[in-house]
Amino acid sequence: MYWKDIFENFDFLMSGLAVTLQLASLAIIGSLICGIVFGVLRHSKIPVISFLAGAYIEFTRSIPLILFIVFIHFGFMPLILDEPSSFFQSACIALIVFTSAYVAEIVRGGLNSIDKGHIDAAKSLGLNWFDRMIHVILPIALTRMTPALVSQFISLIKDTSLASTIGLIEFTRSGEIIYERTYHELEILVFIALTYFTICGSLSALSKKLESKPYINRDSEKLKRLKELA
């Protein structure tokens, strides 16, 4: 076995991991924002808007991510910018476009689960649509959606490995570069797999913990604390 390949190239692998984590965190923030916007639009009562948002969601969800990555990098970005974009930019945009559709579906599910009483109460308090969304509906919906969102973001982290196919030197690609030189593929691949497993596994353990803890309990704890303060 050639495990020393890993130690000799450890810095290079870690710089790749840093790129992966950067890409993942930017894409998570971007897709969370875009996903909430699309989910709210999909949930809206204006038929044209909800139809358009629904069409975007269904279109995106039925196409492989790799198609987006390749065509955003080689097709769309050069057309828009008149010059090739960086690998990082295209990968990030593709991941945001792809994941935001999934996030939008989760958001829609969360919004549908809101009790109508909350909305009526907010309306009777004189809040307009925007204030109702920001102050009443989204906070409840987002806490309910957290486990689903976390597992979606776990698959986003796994999906960043696909950016290696257009040439972005992230974690997977940095491993490929090493074993293309040394020809000892298996050791590097196992190391990469275990690293992904550590990151994603700890996140999924977190999501399981969140799932077992209903949002009501957390709210009641908060209420207790507020009462103690008052």
Partner 1 sequence: MYEFDIKYIIESFPYIVKGIGLTIFISVISSILAFTIALTIAFLRRTNVKPVTLLIGLFVELTRNTPLLIQLYIYYKGLPNIGLNLSPIACGIISLSLYTGVFISEVLRAGLNSIAHEQYQAARGLGLSDIQTFRLVTFPQALRIIIPPLGSQFINLIKNSSLVSFIAVTDLFYVIYKGAVDDFMFFEMFITGAIIYMALTGIVAFFTNLIEQKLKIPGKAGSI
Using CB under 8 A, list all residues that contact partner 1: 59, 62-67, 70-71, 74-75, 79, 154, 158-159, 161-162, 164-165, 172, 185-186, 189-190, 192-193, 196-197, 200-201, 204
Closest CA to 103 of 47, 61, 45, 55: 61
Between 134 and 190, name the residue whose CB sits nearer to partner 1. Answer: 190
22 versus 161: smaller Cβ distance to partner 1: 161
**Nearest residue (CB) to partner 1, 146 versus 204:** 204
Distances (CA, A) of 120 to 67, 174, 196: 44, 54, 45
Structure tokens at 44: 């809206």
Cβ 164 to partner 1 shortest distance, Å: 7
Residues 12-35 as b or e (16 or more Cβ within 10 Å = b): ebeebbebbeebbebbbebbbebb
Q: How far is the CB of 78 from partner 1 (least distance, A)?
A: 9
Minimum distance, C-beta of residue 207 to partner 1, in the bound complex (Å): 11
Task: Name the residue nearer to partner 1 (CB basis): 202 or 220.
Answer: 202
* Residues in Cβ contact with 111 at an 8 Å cutoff, skipping those fewer than 6 apart: 39, 40, 43, 137, 141
Cα separation, 165 vs 87, in Å, equals 10
- The token pair at 13 is 């692998």
Shortest Cβ distance from residue 4 to partner 1 (Å)?
Answer: 18
Q: Which two tokens stand for residue 207?
A: 């999501």
The C-alpha angle with vertex 38 and arms to 203 and 127, in degrees rounded to 5, equals 100
Between 62 and 128, CB nearer to partner 1: 62
Percent helix, strand, coil in the chain (nearest 5)? 85, 0, 15
CB of 225 to partner 1, least distance (A): 34
Task: Indicate the residue among 42 and 133 with the shorter CB distance to partner 1.
Answer: 42
**Is the torsion defined by CA of 181, 182, 188, 190 positive or negative?**
positive
Shortest distance in whole angstroms from residue 40 CB to partner 1: 23
